[in-house]
Amino acid sequence: MTAPVASPSATGRYEAVIGIEIHVQLRTRSKMFCGCSTDFQAAPPNSHTCPICLGMPGTLPVANRLAVEHVLATGLALEAEIVPVTRWDRKNYFYPDLPKGYQISQYDLPLTQNGRLTFDTSEGPFTVGIRRAHLEEDTARLLHMTGDSGDRASLVDFNRSGVALMEIVTEPDLRTAEQARRYAEELRLLLLTIGASEAALESGQMRVEANISLRPIGAQAFGTRVEVKNMNSFRSVERAIGHEIERQAGVLSNGGDVIQETRGWDENRAATYTMRLKEDSQDYRYFPEPDLPPLKADPAWLDEIRARQPELPAARRARYRAELGLSAYDANVIVGDLKATRVFEGALAAESALPAKRVANWVTGEYLRLAKGSDAIDALEPAELGRLLRLVDEGTLSGTSAKEVFARIFAGERTAAVVEELGLAQISDGGALETAVDEVLAANPAAVEDIRAGKAQAIGFLVGQVMKQTRGRANAAMVRELIRSRLDAAPPAATAPRRPKGTPEASG
């Protein structure tokens, strides 16, 4: 890019003012205003349409109750006000992705407004104000092509047209790219937790746009703002905003003016580029949608939705720390991943006597290592992890064997069956251990001598030999005790044989 690069001192003279707009597709089976299925990812183009989502004249939209409830649930989770009576509005513009020539949306009476969301950053907790969350319909998908004669054409697939969409807008409270990324991540976790959206950035179920302006530190008035789009991962959100802050600081510190425009983020070039100038601001001529009656969110309905609300991420983190004694790190890692949360809760529910910290270690360690770092399919039944850890706790299974068993229960097997099949149950039976210990003592007279001569570290060598003989299944603590008691009781050998060549020096 030819844009001047800001020196660190230039960036330091300005404060960034960032607001985020996020669109998410809501998790419903049918579209917002008609019964067409939303399950079209693998379907042929235009196979999920009807006269309503094709915008045919004379059709009448009817709102999807579940979509409305998803927005109300989101509003409650964001501690927002729920507007007692709301209505729909038409946002008018012409574009081929919009068959009616208007989008049904909400303008001055969004379903919910004035909420907030708190999240952690590297500089501590941060709370962003949520201006509004409203309901609207998604547009069709466009593909662009150039025909044989060089004509440029757009191909339209209306499968996505009319899918329920929620728009969530923050106040311009954010100041850094990291805060913006963390907000988007925490909002996604919240939406997944309450089941309002699948919220995958890569597939466009969640679309993040940032409005960014700079002002001299200490100034009140906002600078000219630039809208940044096309950020398809959380990493891109942070990089794109960081880049745009630097770009604007470069322009301003060189005496230039920031131009109001929409810029796209190019992940490969790590730069933003001009998509559209906003010289004449859009004129959408909003007016009330006459085809849809107003919507009243009465207290009884809200109570119903509130009663269905699961534990939210912030409350869950607090409970894990205060009641289960987990570290902030463990609580964040587990709560940040819904599958890890399910495994943790399920294992503890199955074996409530287990120390929560131990379960947490396994979830953040072995479980997430396999779930995220391998191609293995996660078919873990959480209760099986509980059973596995109980066997470790009881001394039936060694730590090493437990990891071997875990890899199998991760793939869907039962703990008891795997332990049985592999013959992994730890030997804590005194008689069986005594036999193994006696054999090892007889085979290693040199080490026995060393111990008698005061080299206590040699016990470690003998314990190792017993573990080897029992393929790791011996209870190490019991073996150590047995060796001690055997050597205390038995008389010293009359003539100690020389240590055979190759026997390692017992060193503990």
Total residues at interface with other proteins (CB under 8 A): 53
Question: Does residue 432 bind other proteins (CB under 8 A)?
Answer: no
Beta carbon nearer to other proteins, 204 or 472: 204
Under a CB-based contact definition with an 8 Å cutoff, are residues 36 and 198 in contact?
A: no
Q: Does 24 bind other proteins (CB under 8 A)?
A: no
Check residue 122 and report its DSSP letter.
T
Comparing CB distances to other proteins, the nearer of 11 and 49 is 49
**Toward other proteins, which CB reaches closer, 294 or 299?**
294
**Nearest distance, CB of residue 162 and other proteins, angstroms:** 11
- The binding track of 94-133 with respect to other proteins, each residue x by CB under 8 A or -, is xxx-------------------------------------
Between 37 and 327, name the residue whose CB sits nearer to other proteins.
37
Under the binding rule (CB under 8 A), the answer on residue 279 touching other proteins is: no
Residue 460: DSSP 8-state = H
Give the interface segment with other proteins, choosing from 38-46, 171-179, 442-450, 471-479 (CB under 8 A).
Answer: 38-46
Contact at 8 Å (CB) between 426 and 473? yes
Binding status of residue 59 toward other proteins by CB under 8 A: no
Residue 378: enclosing H or E segment and its boundaries?
none
CA geometry: angle at 445 spanning 439 and 451, to 5°? 110
When the beta carbons of 146 and 352 are compared against other proteins, the nearer one is 146
Residue 274 touches other proteins, criterion: CB under 8 A: no
Binding mask 144-163 for other proteins (x = CB under 8 A): xx-----xxxxxxxx-----
CB 3 within 8 A of CB 250: yes
State how beta strands 261-266 and 226-231 pair: parallel
Q: What is the DSSP string of 381-428?
A: -HHHHHHHHHHHHHTSS-HHHHHHHHHHHHTT--HHHHHHHHT---B-
Inter-residue contact 81 to 113 (CB < 8 Å)? yes
Query: Binder to other proteins among 1, 5, 143, 490 (CB under 8 A)?
Result: 143
Residue 132, beta-bridge partner list:
113, 169
Question: Of 29-37, 177-185, 418-426, 490-498, which segment contacts other proteins by CB under 8 A?
Answer: 29-37
| Residue 73 found at the interface with other proteins (CB under 8 A) | no
Decide if 25 contacts 197 (C-beta within 8 A).
yes
Tokens representing 197?
């959206």
**Is 285 a binder of other proteins (CB under 8 A)?**
yes
**Selected range binding other proteins among 170-178, 180-188, 200-208, 284-292, rule: CB under 8 A:** 284-292
Q: Does 283 bind other proteins (CB under 8 A)?
A: yes
Q: Outline where 254-413 has alpha helix (H).
A: 299-308, 313-322, 328-335, 338-350, 356-362, 368-373, 382-394, 399-410
- The answer to whether 483 and 468 are in contact (CB under 8 A) is no
Q: Does 387 bind other proteins (CB under 8 A)?
A: no
CB closer to other proteins out of 49 and 205 = 49
User: What is the distance between the alpha carbons of residues 122 and 124, in angstroms, rounded to a whole number?
Assistant: 6
Nearer residue to other proteins within complex by CB, 66 or 422: 66
| Site stretch for other proteins (CB under 8 A), options 66-74, 307-315, 392-400, 462-470 | 66-74
Q: Which is nearer to other proteins, 51 or 492 (CB)?
A: 51
Under the binding rule (CB under 8 A), the answer on residue 22 touching other proteins is: no
What single DSSP character describes residue 159? G
Q: Which long-range contacts (CB under 8 A, 24 or more apart) does 221-225 make?
A: 222/17, 222/172, 223/17, 223/248, 223/252, 223/258, 224/257, 224/258, 224/259, 224/260, 225/17, 225/258, 225/260
Residues that bind other proteins (CB under 8 A): 28-30, 34-37, 44-51, 54, 62-68, 85, 87, 92-96, 143-145, 151-158, 262, 275-276, 283, 285, 288, 290, 292-296
